[in-house]
Structure 1
């Protein structure tokens, strides 16, 4: 059983972190950043064409991490694969020992660096969750038996507690729970009152661990960029002003992230850390927040 699956079963406070696959053939930087997370996170998320920007495949990058002794969560998006390709990659992930999957719809192609590319979207995240549930039960998308064995994938989903439409948020969350999501990682959280409302009014019904998305902001410019280009992001002006006034904005960003981890500790079941290309600072953030290193069982 994977470390993440054991931690969920034991109802531990969960810590995951995100790493980006390389843009090219050299995984050195990704592996170096992930190596520093050993003993601090239960699992490392490997993005799959995040913001529709081309990078190494999440499947290949996840395997490299797995071979380096780092447990990955392989993100899988519906944008770039048809129904056959999704099933093929899920079977391949299982065979390679990559048993943690995050099922995503995928960011729109127009948002990325290849707007001329064609989107697929045979499925979206809820139907992908249902497909994985079916594969775990030993059947393909057509209901035919998997003659060479069922899969055993732990599948998670994304959630955005800051979605403006409360009814839409509730409906989508409940559909993902029903479709088989075993854990949820949230988008970047800045409104912790909203997170608390989500936890008490919606998430409590699903009985699934919720990990709050905590993002390391490196400067006021970085925060403004995220507000402009990341769908759903809404970093408050008070945080942007705090970063702008700091003599060392990166240190202030670490401090803000640690404060947010502490807030999340009192509200939900874990945190999902995002520190693009500065994953080496995640242990410091966790230390500041009083999150102890993870003990292997």
Structure 2
């Protein structure tokens, strides 16, 4: 069975895809697919569908994220039509972080988004994914084609959750690279359900490479457990170092299999 590395990219905040191309160039040897966030943390970015289209043009496999926060029903149907036009078949539906400006659209939920994607008839079926915390998964989320777990640094908690959770489709464990001590403290403060170990935060404070090494070791541990179908990796700005480390550890599109 394949162990897939789904690598999240940094979406552009300016009308320039140069950085996207650089990320794909460096990560393509080790990543099986690329997830494009949708206005992550409430900041405007280039459309995830536009970036996904570019990734596909570069010969890689994209997964486009769409959030309910910024859409009404008409907007979602527009985006499904756009995805079908671009040939983007894998979609991740999420609620969305608090916006930095303005309010939420308000009349769309992730559950409704799944129902709309299933009813879309103008293209081959979409492959729809959802995200979950390390808690019981509601039945409507179980209808998704794949599931991404929240980021965690606690492998034991992750494995206990997986052992207690029966899902039919692929499940990807969330792994975050801590790029700096400052980032570690910000994550700990802003996301109380993601516990950052003090030892790791201190190590990253002393040496930013410690965050890269810890993430790569976590990926290897998840793969070795045999409990997951892959990892959803968030390398942030450290993607060149992550690509080099994973390549040195033997990860590739063909050898990263189990």
The TM-score normalised by the length of structure 2 is 0.91
Matched with 2:140 is 175
What is the CA deviation profile of residues 54-83 of structure 1, one whole-angstrom value per residue up to 9, with x for unaligned ones?
A: 111111111122222222111001111110
Deviation track 1:4-55 (CA, whole Å, cap 9, x = no partner) reads xxxxxxx300111011221111111121112212132121011101111111
Q: 2:106 aligns with which of 116, 121, 138?
A: 121
Gaps of 5+ in 1: 1-10, 139-148, 162-168
Shift of the alpha carbon at 1:234? 2.0
Q: Is 1:33 aligned to 2:53, yes or no?
A: no
The equivalent position to 1:282 in structure 2, one of 242, 245, 255, is 242
Structure 1 residue aligned with 2:150, among 187, 198, 201? 187
Matched, 1:217 2:178: yes
Aligned residues: 253
8 Å Cα contact 1:185/1:212 also seen in 2: yes
User: Is 1:43–1:73's contact at 8 Å kept on the other side of the alignment?
Assistant: yes
Q: How far is 1:150 from its partner? A: 4.1
Deviations 1:82-138 (A, max 9, x none): 1011011112101211111101111122xx3x2xx1311322222212221222xx3
1:36-115 to structure 2, matched below 5 A, reads: 36-109=26-99, 112=100, 114=101
What is the DSSP-based 3-state SS (H/G/I as helix, E as strand, rest coil) of the residue aligned with 1:243? helix
Q: Distance in 2 between matches of 1:24 and 1:231?
A: 31
Contact 1:227-1:235 within 8 A present in 2 as well: yes
Please say which structure displays the higher CA radius of gyration: 1
> Which structure has the higher relative contact order (CA within 8 Å, separation 6+)?
2
Matched, 1:295 2:258: no
Q: Give the TM-score normalised by the residue count of structure 1.
A: 0.79
CA contact (8 A) 2:30 2:247 kept: no
Give the unaligned 5+ runs of structure 2.
Answer: none
Q: CA RMSD in A?
A: 1.9
